[in-house]
Structure 1
Amino acid sequence: MKKRFMAAVCGAMLMLSACGSGGSGSSETSGNGNSDSSKEPEKIVKVGIIQLVEHPSLDGAREGFIAALKDAGYEDGKNMKLDYQNAQGDMNNNMSIAQNLVSDQNDVILAIATASAQAVVNSTKDIPILFTAITDPVGAKLVESLENPGGNVTGTSDTHPDAIKNTINAIKKFIPDAKKVGIIYNSGEPNSVVNVENAKKVIAEVGLEAVETSVSTSSEVKQAAESLVGRADVFYIPKDNTVVSALESVITVANDKKIPMFVGEGDSVKRGAFASYGLDYHDLGYSTGKMAVEILKGKKPNEIPVGFPENLELVINKKAAELQGITLSEELLKDAKIVGE
């Protein structure tokens, strides 16, 4: 009898102990009684970035793209693995990087500049591809049309329809005695060829003459600028990645020889060119990043039309104006964004 009583007491104590243990561990279980450790881990998305060459405009587009992803909750090292590679202007590197990003099976690939976009597009029809800082996406055979890109590709173009026209008209406005416009570009860059052809049309329309010189590498840029001294009254540098990556070489010649220097984008004005009707490349990249977020959440690239910069602004570098022999008045500076003060 005594033995049965002791057994009952021990059993009751064990039951109380079990209840107490369950109560103290309740914070480690989810509402359905399962441990949090049983939850499926959050998927880490893989984002590859290929950039043709380093210069402030392309860098700004990349930084804007990453900022948009971060604002949407995607952070490198947390829930995103970011693989950024720069071809440094080498076309063999460019193709190798494109193929590597594809073989690594990234969830989405951003291509910055036309040649990089073409390399990736030619490497995969399966992985979603976004491009930015592209002059002519249709002409470069990246998309079927701007409204309906088709396939696995979409992105943003940096070509505002009025940018070149406004910049060439600014030459007439600020340098009324100018007759010849010296253009330096890389004829191997499809985007540059398009920009130069469009610029030459406007130059002829306003009664000026284009004087061209072409380069293949950034090391040739200064010599090309020097070859235009005495043959051109102003310099015009289009959105050419080879020349812009070595822009300081042209700026040096422009300042030494008092040749006004007009460019295709605002970042080059900040570096020492005189003027441009430009856009903010960080904003352009940010818009592309928002497209990437849509794709990562399930949207297909062919459902997203190609985007364009919404605004243009006249950017003037006052210090460059002084160094390049340009006289400015308050009327000429009206409505301009001033840098270099």
Structure 2
Amino acid sequence: MKSLTWAPLSALALAAAALAPAAHAADMKSVAVTAIVEHPALDAVRDGVKDGLKAAGFEEGKNLKWQYQSAQGNTGTAAQIARKFVGDKPDAIVAIATPSAQAVIASTKNVPVVFSAVTDPVAAKLVKSWEPSKNNVTGVSDLLALDKQIDLIKQVVPNAKRVGMVYNPGEANSVVVVKEMKDLLAKQGMQLVEASAPRSVDVGSAARSLIGKVDVIYTNTDNNVVSSYESLVKVGQEAKLPLIASDTDSVKRGAIAALGINYRDLGEQTGRMVARILKGENPGDIKPETTTKMELFVNPGAAEKQGVKLPEALVKSAAQVVQ
């Protein structure tokens, strides 16, 4: 009797053990993350996405398979990564910055895609409007109010009339910013002077071409510029040419001031959106989002090296003073 009782129980136990991995695998979700390049702002987005997912109950190694690849600034590599990720069939792909988002969206109409750190997803043709896409795409934008950027420029360099801007003309969002900055500056009797940097190695020479032509250099979140910001800082210090940024991490690297978003927070916001998709929502039903939380960072030491003194009131109003 003992042997007869023992056999069925063992069989049941073995069956349960065999089914356990399958059940665990069914609970596991997969997220693939790609960025066009690695620099502090985009790295903060990536890390924030992971934090946002964890806060929503998805943790790597427990119920989340996480993979990440950088295109190292190469759009061809971005396209290769996009095709590889689509072939992996994850539950969602997170594409950080416009070139990576464009590559992923061109590669799939089925896998959910969440873009992040994209200034104008409509101009970049990632979505048709700011309303729910009704397809496989949604995301979070780092769009900034450029009138506030101009206000900051005027606070740091009150007599500025000519504003230089180094940017990659191949990056859709930078082209949008240039056009809007031209229009806004013209309304205030100011002028935008452009300097093209199609590659990150061109940033330093582009900045040097502005010496004697501008009173200040403004940089948006152009990935070529941000990834090579030190070369721009070198020019700013040598020529006593003030640098104003829209990326707060650039202040730690030598910009005088920046009024921008916290990219770690932007990443967490993106992660929460991805979590909604992992829990069953359709990306096409989720409206693209922006963030309204802005922070002012200032660097008095950089200001001195670039020939200006920051107003005391501006320094006191900063969320962070970089020493």
Answer yes or no: same fold by TM over 0.5: yes
Code of the residue aligned with 1:147 in structure 2: it is: E
Q: Which residue is 2:48 aligned to? A: 64
Residue 325 of structure 1 aligns to a residue whose secondary structure is coil
Q: Any residues of structure 2 matched to 1:165-204 within 5 Å, and which?
A: 165-204=147-186
- Deviation, structure 1 residue 127: 0.4
Post-superposition offset of 1:121: 0.7
| Structure 1 residue 116 displacement after superposition | 0.9
SS at match of 1:41: helix
The alpha carbon displacement at 1:176 in A equals 1.4
Give the direction of change, closer, same or farther, for the CA distance of 1:50–1:169 in structure 2 (3 Å limit). Answer: same
Contact 1:157–1:306 (8 Å) recurs in 2:
yes
State the distance in 1 between where 2:45 and 2:90 align: 20
CA drift at 1:123: 0.7
Residue in structure 2 matched with residue 278 of structure 1 by the alignment: 260
Query: Is 1:267 aligned to residue 286 of structure 2?
Result: no
- Partners of 1:169 and 1:310 lie apart in 2 by 17
> Could you tell me which amino acid in structure 1 is paired with residue 82 of structure 2?
A
Per the TM alignment, residue 183 of structure 1 is displaced from its structure 2 partner at its CA by 0.8
- Which secondary structure state, in structure 2, belongs to the residue aligned with residue 210 of structure 1? strand
Q: How does 1:97-116 map to 2 (within 5 A)?
A: 97-116=81-100
Aligned counterparts, 1:14-25, within 5 A: none
Q: CA deviation at 1:200?
A: 1.5
CA contact (8 A) 2:300 2:309 kept: no
Counterpart pick for 1:209 among 191, 194, 197 = 191
Q: Distance in 2 between the 1:150 and 1:142 partners? A: 12
Which residue of structure 2 aligns with residue 11 of structure 1?
none
Contact 1:56 1:267 in 2 (8 A): yes
Indicate the residue corresponding to 2:216 in structure 1: 234
Cα separation, 2, equivalents of 1:261 and 1:196:
16
Are the counterparts in 2 of residues 144 and 150 from structure 1 also a CA contact under 8 Å? no
Match of 1:314 among 296, 299, 314: 296
Tell me which amino acid in the other structure corresponds to 1:302.
Answer: G
Secondary structure of 1:122's match? helix
* d(CA) in 1 for partners of 2:320, 2:241: 19
Q: Which runs of 5+ in 2 are unaligned?
A: none
Would the alpha carbon gap of residues 35 and 239 (structure 1) be closer, same or farther in structure 2, given more than 3 Å must change? closer
8 Å CA contact 1:214, 1:224 repeated in 2: yes
Q: Deviations for 1:184-229, whole angstroms, at most 9, x for unmatched residues?
A: 0010000110111111222212221111110111111111111111
Of stretches 265-274 and 117-126 in structure 1, the one that deviates more from structure 2 is: 265-274
Could you tell me how far 1:255 is from its partner in structure 2? 1.4
Q: For 1:94 and 1:36, how far apart are their aligned partners in 2? A: 41
Change (3 A) 1:35 1:105: closer
Residue 122 of structure 2 corresponds to 138
Q: CA deviation at 1:313?
A: 2.3
CA contact (8 A) 1:95 1:119 kept: yes
State which of 95, 112, 116 in structure 2 corresponds to 1:128.
Answer: 112
Specify the code of the residue in structure 2 equivalent to 1:70: K
Is 1:157 the counterpart of 2:137? The answer is no
- Please say which of residues 201-210 and 238-247 is displaced more in the overlay: 201-210
Say whether the 8 Å CA contact 2:123–2:173 is kept in structure 1: no
Q: Name the aligned partner's letter for residue 323 of structure 1.
A: K
Deviation, structure 1 residue 46: 1.9
Aligned residues with identical type, % of pairs: 44
Segments ≥4 residues shifted beyond 3 Å: 34-40
> What residue is the counterpart of 2:58 in the other structure?
74
Aligned-partner Cα distance in 1 for 2:17–2:88: 31
Query: C-alpha root-mean-square deviation of aligned residues, in Å?
Result: 2.2
What is the number of residues matched between the two proteins? 319
3-state SS of the aligned residue for 2:121? Answer: coil
For the 8 Å contact 2:262–2:295, the answer to whether it is kept is no
